[in-house]
Amino acid sequence: MSRSITVTCPHCGTTLEIDVEAGVILGHTPPKVEKKAMDFDERLRLVEAEKKRAADRMAEAMRAEKAKGRILEDRFQKLLDEAKDAPDEPPPIKDIDL
């Protein structure tokens, strides 16, 4: 028969049931958290802040997407110029060709 112990987390208050022999967690019980009532004005401020953060993230994603095309075009032109400047070399001989 396996021996189990019960441990309470000092940080979050969760109760863990641990099997000592196997070293595994058999179960857990989260702490009961009392939800405090939020007034309407505070919730409205939170919703507005979330909207602003979402709009900022969307604007940043749009800027990154617009810049992505330019960056890829610049890389392509750079590689194309390097390919034009490099002398034509035959492809390397592969082991299978020998």
Would you give the DSSP letter of residue 33? Answer: -
* 29 CB-near residues (< 8 Å, 6+ apart): 14, 15
pLDDT tops 80 at residue 3: yes
User: Residue 14's closest CA among 26, 27, 30?
Assistant: 30
For the ranges 2-11, 55-64, 81-90, which has the lowest average pLDDT?
81-90
The pLDDT, as a whole number, for residue 98 is 75
Digit-coded pLDDT (tens) for 38-73: 889 999 999 999 999 999 999 999 988 888 888 889
Domain ranges of the chain: 1-31, 38-84
The pLDDT, as a whole number, for residue 33 is 80
